[in-house]
């Protein structure tokens, strides 16, 4: 139903004629809809009256113009009606709009040319109908991270101790002097919580940003007559979108035209069976569903939050805090160390209590701190608070709280850097798992090759046709080839008056064939489509490796069949062939063998061979036998420039590379040799296998040969899945590349699924863990390097942190047992905790990958997190630090002639400087640090953090004596501390000379 809006002012005679015409149309529509209303009384009344505003304006106000222009506006189109129409699959409302094509006109969309698409048009459509973006839950605020960091049990205990110490201190010494002990602990705690919260807040923002980037997909639309890719977020109501197998439906809309289109609506309805979309039974398409078969175009009617998917997405937040397997292992490690630290802290507390209450602890003046009943309650409570605080700080230094932060930092850093290296991480666990990969199963097209195809050979019967000999081909053969290309394609040819060369779009294969037909054969695709009516289409898929079309010629109503696909498959469908003169000849056995030789010859030159076949028929059935072969084309897709070097890098890293392709066995061999996957002296009988042979192996036979196979040709998606499953059963950690919808099972089954960002379908991307943005195998090797770097950086930090834990526990435990006092105070240990938890994590977790990482064997599934090499390094450094600090604890005063406070400052200063020098040792765990600064300038953050740590340590000792409970040191004492700490370098060099079993 349409409602006429009142006109402005009185209309002239031409406008009266328009008004009478519209009134007549209106009453006709009312009368037409009355019988339907009587029959369909059960249809509920719509909540909003439907109306379409048609503004009739005089385009030329000059009365002498002689004509008026009808200008349509959708400013007042009922948006709710559009939304409900698609959501409810309501044909009644669609009929009230006049059908899909009439609705397109109301939305100012031309079926062939799309919307205007200029900036003003896009802004107007977004203002009226909204943008194609989903409202997301608000980001966690900074205060929530502060609250999470403050909930730590040890932090709470320390705050209680600090509050008690602050209270007793002020009571005893007054506000001016009594706040130092308790206040210092509070300041240190605030600093730790603040640094931790800021770091986690920033990483959360980065993960959210990566989530947004992974959601930004490209869709093909037509605007101003040009087919072009746009961001899914840039889609507007009225856009015409092209849909192919594997695409995600980007918005709610209506089917316009296409063939064999089927959509997986399981994400919306839960039903796993594909839903057929066509003009007659079901035109409605929902955002978020996936195209499982066929192709077509759709008219966008609702976007963003106005779609059913938008409402669902607004209530779902992607889990950005997912815990990776390595994080789980580190949590378990931290828990074990924490329990050990708790046991030590309890023992220290018990020993301190025993020594205190037995009168074996003295104050600074040498008097016993506890004198039985003579001890004041205030003194007693103050002493107990100090003892508990000392025990709790032992626990603080024992718990490796920096481990989760180190994982977060290194994952966030690696994700950001991998993005610049053409890899978008969709799952955090992929960053670390990639370092364990032992086998990579890769596609050929676009991954090992450039995916820039070009027709370089054309064979007609037994003769190759050169550029200058195209004129010698019979006109009827040329015409059939034009039909076979122009009608049986999912690509498009756009000819603009301002363009000298037509703009051709589609898949690389379709683009190459269309370019050949337009340039060499002189094909006009619009003429072909106007001359024929398409009756049925079988879309190309990776299993059948062919596509077909059944058409009806408009002029004589004759029915024709055209097939296109893999040469040997099309050849098997043919019984006859055309020669150059346009005469049909039977394909004899000898000629069939000859055609097979032509196909193998092109394959040996790394060409993809495509055949065209034709047949005229009487039945409206897409027949597959008795076809006439039109010709063969060879498409060249050159190998990527760096792919051979990348394959060799994988082999040096102990990673096997297997090529799985749909091409025939000869093309697969040629490409594999060109890329370095196969070597000339290799036994091809065992290294190369076809998919059908592989799937027909027995289980035992397959497991025996799986490690030897390098290339699998003519493979189906099931063969790829079977390969992945077999490799995993053999204990391999498998990475798989894929770009098609049918690759989704293999991508999900693999330990790491790598989808292609350019040619990959949205189904493949959603099934993958990492998206390779440039479709380049060299980027896969870069991801492998980053995966090993993540694991290696975390191991460096674990070694560094455990060294501090062991050394601090050892010195405080021995000192507490022996003398009843701990040399490292609460504030000092909290400062060390800040060094190890935050600064060291930043310094070591952001080391960049080096080529040395690819010279090591894969980590595999079962290798322990803390290796024997790490144990060797950390135990040696911890023993060195404990020995030095204990000597200073008991002999320092007599050696240097200093008081206890200066001696404790020497111990604290030497301990911190030992960690600074040990950070350099941790940069390379298994090699002697002959060049301590090798590659140091590449990590400026490391240099900066070392500088900040030293500067803050100088401040702690020289300027914050009361805060840190230290005394100022002279130049000689500073030199002694630095020299003593620097001994960790030669000790590390000597220790790394000791051989350690890798097992």
Structure confidence by residue, pLDDT tens digits, 117-175: 888 889 889 888 888 887 766 777 888 888 887 777 667 766 776 777 677 667 666 77
According to DSSP, residue 730 is labeled T
Residues sharing a CB contact under 8 Å with residue 681, sequence separation 6 or more, in sequence order: none
Contacts 24+ apart (CB under 8 A), 150-156: 150/193, 152/401, 154/392, 154/395, 154/396, 154/399, 155/189, 155/192, 155/193
SS3 757: coil
Residue 544 tokens, joined: 């059948």
Among 538-542, 567-571, 617-621, 817-821, name the one with the lowest average pLDDT.
817-821
pLDDT value at 460 more than 80: yes
Average pLDDT over residues 702-716: 92
> What is the token pair recorded at 465?
């046709």
List Cβ neighbours of 788 (8 Å cut-off, separation of 6 or more).
434, 435, 849, 853, 854, 856, 859
What is the rounded CA–CA span in Å between residue 799 and residue 777? 34
Kindly report, residue by residue over 732-767, the tens digit of the pLDDT: 999 998 877 767 888 889 999 998 888 777 778 888
246-256 mean pLDDT: 89
pLDDT (0 to 100) of residue 402: 63
- Select which of 247, 443, 663, 988 is catalytic: 443
- Residue carrying the six token digits 């100090």: 386
What lies within 8 Å, CB to CB, of 284 at 6+ separation is: 86, 89, 252, 254, 255, 277
Of 74-83, 530-539, 704-713, the range with the lowest mean pLDDT is: 74-83
**Nearest in space to 752 (alpha carbons), one of 734, 776, 728, 775:** 734
One DSSP character per residue, 375-440 reads S-HHHHHHHHHHHHHHHHHHHHHHS-THHHHHHHHHHHHHHHHHHHTTEEESSTHHHHHGGG--EE
pLDDT for residue 103 is more than 70: yes
Produce one character per residue of 70-106: b if its CB has 16 or more CB atoms within 10 Å, e if not: eeeebeebbbebbbbbbbeebeebbebbeebeebbeb
For the stretch 644-693, pLDDT in tens is: 999 999 999 999 999 998 888 888 999 999 999 998 877 788 899 999 99
CB distance 796 to 847 below 8 Å: yes
The two tokens of residue 239 are 């856009």
Cα dihedral sign, 451-454-459-460: positive
CB contact at 8 A, 690 and 668:
no
| E strand or H helix at 561 | strand 559-566
pLDDT, tens only, 332-370? 777 787 788 788 888 888 888 888 888 777 666 667 777
Any alpha helices (H) in 399-542, and if so which ranges?
Answer: 402-420, 429-433, 475-486, 508-519, 525-531
Dihedral sign (CA 718, 719, 722, 727): negative
Residue 573 has pLDDT above 90, yes or no: yes
Closest CA to 140 of 222, 239, 42, 207: 207
Length of the chain: 999
Q: In what side-by-side order are the strands of the sheet with 711-713?
A: 423-425, 770-772, 752-756, 734-738, 439-442, 656-660, 711-713, 688-690
| Percent of all residues in the chain with a pLDDT value above 90, rounded to a whole number | 27
Of 985, 869, 860, residue with least CA distance to 929:
985
Whether the CA torsion 164, 168, 169, 174 is positive or negative: it is positive
Q: Considering only CA atoms, which of 983, 812, 55 is closest in space to residue 397?
A: 812
Comparing 633 with 497, the larger pLDDT belongs to 633
More confident residue, 497 or 770: 770
Residue 789 sits at the vertex; the CA angle it makes with 934 and 914, to the nearest 5 degrees, is 50
Tell me which H or E stretch contains 505.
strand 503-505
C-alpha distance from residue 616 to each of 557, 562, 613, 970 (Å): 11, 9, 11, 102
Cα 577 to Cα 584: distance, rounded to the nearest angstrom? 6
Q: How many CA atoms lie within 13 A of 143 on its CB side?
A: 0
Confirm whether 378 is a catalytic residue: no
Nearest-angstrom CA–CA distance, 532 and 725? 47
pLDDT at 743: 79
Q: Region 398-404: what's the mean pLDDT?
A: 66
CA distance linking residue 348 with residue 362, whole number of Å: 17
Spatial contact of 359 and 312, defined as CB atoms under 8 Å apart = no
Dump pLDDT digits (tens) for 476-496: 999 999 999 999 998 888 877
List the structure tokens of 959: 């300027």
- CA–CA separation, 745 vs 760, rounded Å? 14
Instruction: Please provide the average confidence, as pLDDT, over all residues in the chain.
Output: 81
CA distance 653 to 854: 4
Show the 3-state SS of 263-325.
EECHHHHCCCCCEECECCCECEECCCCEEEEEEEEEEEEECHHHCHHHHHHHCCCCCCCCCCH
d(CA 386, CA 577): 98
Count CB neighbours of 473 within 10 A: 20
- Asked whether the beta carbons of 453 and 511 are under 8 A apart, the reply is yes
């Amino acid at each position: 139903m349409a409602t006429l809006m009142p006109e402005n002012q009185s209309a002239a005679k031409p406008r009266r004629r328009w008004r009478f015409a519209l009134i007549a149309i209106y009453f006709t529509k009312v009368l037409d809809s009355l019988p339907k209303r009587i029959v369909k009384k059960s249809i509920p009344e719509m909540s909003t009256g439907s109306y379409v505003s048609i503004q009739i304006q005089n385009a030329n106000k000059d009365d002498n113009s002689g004509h008026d222009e009808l200008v349509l506006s959708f400013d007042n189109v009922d948006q709710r009606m559009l939304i409900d129409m698609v959501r409810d699959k309501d044909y009644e409302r669609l009929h009230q709009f006049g059908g899909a094509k009439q609705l397109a006109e109301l939305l100012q969309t031309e079926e062939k040319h799309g919307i205007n698409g200029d900036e003003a048009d896009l802004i107007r459509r977004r203002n009226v109908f909204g943008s194609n973006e989903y409202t997301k839950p608000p980001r966690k605020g900074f205060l929530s991270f502060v609250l999470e960091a403050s909930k730590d049990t040890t932090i709470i205990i320390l705050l209680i101790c600090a509050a008690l110490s602050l209270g007793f201190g002020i009571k005893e010494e007054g506000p001016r002097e009594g706040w130092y002990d308790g206040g210092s602990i509070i300041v240190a705690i605030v600093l730790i919580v603040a640094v931790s919260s800021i770091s986690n807040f920033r990483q959360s923002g980065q993960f959210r940003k990566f989530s947004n980037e992974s959601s930004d997909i490209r869709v093909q639309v037509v605007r101003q007559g040009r087919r072009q890719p746009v961001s899914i977020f840039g889609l507007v109501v009225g856009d015409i979108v092209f849909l192919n197998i594997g695409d995600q439906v980007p918005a709610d809309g209506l089917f316009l035209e296409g063939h064999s289109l089927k959509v997986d609506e399981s994400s919306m309805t839960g039903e796993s069976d594909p839903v057929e979309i066509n003009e007659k039974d079901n035109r409605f398409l929902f955002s978020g569903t996936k195209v499982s078969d066929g192709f077509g175009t759709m008219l966008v009617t609702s976007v963003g939050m106005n779609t059913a998917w938008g409402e669902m997405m607004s209530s779902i937040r992607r889990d950005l805090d997912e815990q990776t397997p390595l994080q789980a292992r580190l949590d378990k490690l931290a828990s074990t160390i924490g329990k050990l630290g708790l046991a030590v802290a309890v023992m220290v507390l018990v020993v301190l209590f025993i020594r205190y209450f037995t009168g074996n602890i003295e104050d600074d003046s040498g008097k016993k701190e506890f004198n039985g009943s003579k001890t004041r309650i205030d003194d007693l409570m103050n002493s107990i608070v100090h003892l508990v605080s000392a025990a709790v700080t032992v626990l603080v230094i024992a718990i490796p709280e920096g481990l989760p932060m180190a994982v977060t930092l290194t994952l966030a850093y690696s994700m950001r850097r991998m993005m610049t290296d053409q890899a978008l991480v969709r799952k955090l666990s992929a960053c670390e798992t990639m370092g364990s990969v032992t086998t990579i199963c890769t596609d050929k097209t676009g991954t090992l090759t450039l995916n820039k195809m070009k027709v370089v050979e054309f064979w007609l019967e037994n003769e190759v046709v050169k550029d200058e000999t195209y004129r010698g081909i019979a006109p009827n053969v040329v015409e059939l080839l034009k039909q076979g290309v122009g009608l049986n394609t999912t690509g498009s040819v756009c000819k603009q008056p301002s363009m000298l060369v037509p703009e051709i779009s589609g898949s690389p294969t379709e683009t190459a064939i269309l370019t050949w037909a337009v340039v060499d054969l002189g094909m006009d695709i619009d003429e072909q489509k106007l001359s024929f009516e398409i009756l049925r289409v079988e879309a190309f898929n990776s299993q059948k490796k062919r596509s077909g079309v059944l058409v009806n010629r408009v002029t004589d109503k004759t029915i024709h069949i055209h097939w296109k696909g893999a040469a040997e498959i099309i050849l098997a469908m043919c019984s006859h062939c055309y020669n150059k003169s346009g005469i049909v000849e039977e394909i004899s056995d000898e000629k069939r063998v000859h055609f097979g030789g032509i196909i193998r010859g092109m394959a040996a030159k790394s060409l993809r061979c495509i055949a065209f076949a034709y047949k005229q028929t009487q039945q409206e059935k897409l027949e597959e036998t008795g076809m006439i072969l039109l010709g063969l084309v060879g498409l060249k897709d050159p190998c990527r420039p760096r792919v051979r070097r990348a394959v060799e890098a994988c082999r040096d890293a102990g990673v096997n590379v297997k090529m799985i392709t749909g091409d025939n066995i000869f093309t697969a061999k040629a490409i594999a040799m060109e890329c370095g996957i196969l070597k000339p002296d290799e036994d091809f009988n065992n290294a190369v296998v076809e998919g059908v042979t592989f799937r027909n192996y027995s289980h035992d036979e397959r497991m025996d040969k799986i490690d030897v196979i390098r290339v699998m040709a003519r493979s189906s998606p099931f063969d790829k899945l079977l390969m992945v499953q077999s490799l995993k059963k053999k204990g391999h950690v498998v990475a798989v590349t894929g770009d098609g919808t049918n690759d989704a099972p293999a991508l999900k089954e693999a330990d790491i699924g790598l989808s292609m960002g350019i040619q990959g379908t949205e189904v493949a991307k959603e099934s993958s863990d990492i998206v390779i943005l440039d479709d380049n195998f060299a980027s896969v090797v870069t991801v492998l390097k980053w995966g090993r770097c993540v694991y290696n950086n975390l191991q460096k930090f674990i070694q560094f942190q455990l060294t501090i834990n062991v050394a601090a526990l050892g010195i405080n435990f021995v000192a507490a047992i022996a003398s009843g006092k701990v040399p490292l105070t609460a504030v000092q240990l909290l400062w060390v905790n800040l060094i190890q938890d935050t600064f060291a994590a930043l310094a070591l977790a952001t080391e960049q990958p080096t080529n040395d990482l690819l010279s090591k064997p894969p980590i595999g599934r079962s290798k322990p997190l803390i290796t024997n090499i790490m144990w060797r390094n950390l135990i040696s450094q911890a023993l060195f630090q404990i020995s030095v600090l204990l000597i200073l604890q008991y002999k320092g005063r007599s050696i240097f002639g200093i008081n206890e406070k200066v001696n404790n400052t020497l111990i604290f200063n030497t301990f911190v400087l030992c960690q600074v020098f040990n950070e350099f040792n941790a940069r390379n765990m298994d090699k002697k640090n002959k060049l301590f600064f090798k590659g140091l300038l590449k990590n400026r953050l490391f240099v900066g953090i070392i500088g900040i740590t030293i500067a803050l340590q100088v401040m702690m000792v020289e300027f914050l004596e009361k805060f840190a409970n230290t005394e100022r040191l002279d130049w000689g004492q500073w030199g002694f501390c630095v020299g003593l700490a620097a001994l960790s370098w030669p000790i590390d060099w000597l220790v790394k000379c000791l051989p350690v079993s890798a097992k």
